[in-house]
Structure 1
């Protein structure tokens, strides 16, 4: 059996209950790849996590994280000791360059979860980007959008890119609308729009708040619930998150801010909602929150940005809007959905069916293994 190492960035441990979208993909995807391969996850240590442990049958080596450089030095030493047949680097193109120097004959894959680390300040010049692409034997991306982005930057990469969508566990989100939960919060008579995610400018929450005056005029009992913080696992504020609260202040009766919640509690917030909104303004390579909302049976109103049109089907599982006209279109589509329970229910059912057909972790694992079989069957 071939041995495959999965090298996480070291930002969060695996498993990572308080954040780290890359680590969560590794946590959910990698165990499903066995027994086809012998997988091993390399990541940072964490409280109450053993330095050497198992995650659903996969060995996890958890290393001290004094600094990024020290972490990678330890990873290199452990890779030399384990001697994998393939090393997959998660979302850090520059790490590929380091590992190519350390292991010149190794099979190296780069798994991109976003384009963030292909841009400044993480990659400062085109030469480094091209070198990272050349150093990888295979590049896995999570959407057609991200594939096209990489190819525009490095056309020579076109022949080595494969698409593997991330997924969800639908059963975690199949919760009934919890009238008890609404009653506890005094929300029984409210129409609830849910935003779930980080409070950073590219997520576009300011556009949602700009839509409030018109949305309140059309749907007087609307409540916009904003769940999230600027940082994973922390309620720490930034100037942007404070700005959002200032924007919401005139409509305090129609906005509820809920700071970061652990991932285990996320389905409970979807269960309270009538509609989910994803108003990102740029660079959303995939947008897993769309899939989570659909799994929960919610119609989704999302911007036509990045990989999100690959998930949300306009007019079928929700609505896609133009980022350039987001406030007006958000008010229009959200008020339409909040006024029409039958439409919400039908779109919600279609969304759940789409998730079960395409966006489960089992689909992700099957996609990764197709890439593996094609690569290894090519004579490696």
Structure 2
């Protein structure tokens, strides 16, 4: 098959720094390219040429701007070409126009969250019309599939689940013996309120009161919200929690950060469709302590490869989990091994691409 993947107007492929959608697009495209012809269209960037080939994936970059301006450039570029399947990532409003341009070609909408099927980006009525035009809808977890089916019951029969994955070669356990001094707790991701960094800092404050071993927090991620990073620094100082803020770490280097930690904490305060950072941590051989919500519950298996926190709005619940793993090395090591094993079995990019390829083969018959 010749598969066209249309990235959102805000996204550059490969990613300049990070971002789960652009990471996912390129990672799956490279695996698909082993048995299919794959073309990706994304926004132009001064760092990249208008056309490049990465591991067999042809990436073409067009001018961007508003969503509709970008879409017009995409249409101009692909007009007259032939594809067997068109995949649109995270932009329901692109489905209709591209379906109109390529009559008879199956169009897939790959949704990474609920963000673009609701306010403030669109109304439920408009989203329903856009979704109805797609031949197939890909959800990155059973949780997202269920949420979409509940909101838009008429399209529930066209939704397929394809879990995301991780580069298990790059995200691999550290072979070096870590010095048995401070216990290192890691958070990676955007610094925005819904990610729960204040809950983490308060949890570590409470955990530190229960042990003489020092606990160090490492936070890797930037913030687009003015002043939010500084407010988190101020909170860490106020709580007297030893915290190192790394800022935005390019995804090409983030695997090195995971290898320096003892445990990964994901204190998300709202629904997470999948939670890519959790599989990156698990593949790196880290036990995960995570909020029991959304797609996270499909990744983290309680008391097997990590700990799910039901009362995830309460710092004490995370503090108890941190202390439990810090004080039980055997349990920590058991979870590390299981986390890595689970990623190799279920959460590789090869597995994601294989599942997606199967879905597209069926709709293209």
Q: What's the TM-score, normalizing by structure 1?
A: 0.91
- CA–CA distance in 2 between the matches of 1:201 and 1:48? 31
For the Cα contact (< 8 Å) 1:279–1:323, is it kept in 2?
no
Q: How far is the alpha carbon of 1:142 from its aligned partner?
A: 0.4
- The equivalent of 1:234 in structure 2 is none
- The equivalent of 1:330 in structure 2 is 318
Match of 1:224 among 198, 217, 240: 217
- The equivalent of 1:142 in structure 2 is 140
Q: Does 1:190 align with 2:178?
A: no
Q: How far is the alpha carbon of 1:325 from its aligned partner?
A: 4.2
Q: How far is the alpha carbon of 1:84 from its aligned partner?
A: 1.8
Q: Does 1:129 align with 2:127?
A: yes
Q: Does 1:24 align with 2:12?
A: no
- Aligned ranges 1:56-75 → 2 under 5 Å: 56-75=55-74
Task: Give the helix-richer structure, 1 or 2.
Answer: 1
- The equivalent of 2:258 in structure 1 is 270
Q: Render the CA deviation track for 1:320-348: whole Å, top value 9, x for unaligned.
A: 00245431110000111011111111100
For the Cα contact (< 8 Å) 2:267–2:312, is it kept in 1?
no
Q: Render the CA deviation track for 1:70-126: whole Å, top value 9, x for unaligned.
A: 221110111213232321100111121332344454321100011111121111x22
Q: Does 1:110 align with 2:109?
A: yes
- CA–CA distance in 1 between the matches of 2:234 and 2:303? 33
Q: Number of residue pairs matched?
A: 364
SS in 1 for 2:12: coil
Q: Render the CA deviation track for 1:203-245: whole Å, top value 9, x for unaligned.
A: 11111122133111013401111111124xxxxx534333222
SS in 2 for 1:257: strand
- The equivalent of 1:376 in structure 2 is 364
For the Cα contact (< 8 Å) 1:178–1:272, is it kept in 2?
no
Q: Render the CA deviation track for 1:125-154: whole Å, top value 9, x for unaligned.
A: 221111011110000110000000110111
- CA–CA distance in 1 between the matches of 2:63 and 2:311? 42
Match of 1:362 among 350, 353, 357: 350
- The equivalent of 1:289 in structure 2 is 277
**Which 5+ residue runs of structure 1 have no aligned equivalent?**
232-236
- The equivalent of 1:212 in structure 2 is 204
- CA–CA distance in 2 between the matches of 1:53 and 1:171? 24
Q: How far is the alpha carbon of 1:169 from its aligned partner?
A: 1.3
- CA–CA distance in 2 between the matches of 1:66 and 1:148? 33
Q: Does 1:238 align with 2:231?
A: no
- The equivalent of 2:10 in structure 1 is 11
**Which 5+ residue runs of structure 2 have no aligned equivalent?**
none
- CA–CA distance in 1 between the matches of 2:9 and 2:176? 37
Q: Does 1:48 align with 2:36?
A: no
- CA–CA distance in 2 between the matches of 1:219 and 1:96? 55
Q: Does 1:173 align with 2:171?
A: yes
Q: Does 1:200 align with 2:192?
A: yes
Q: Does 1:92 align with 2:80?
A: no
Call closer, same or farther: CA 1:253–1:129 in 2, change over 3 Å. Answer: closer
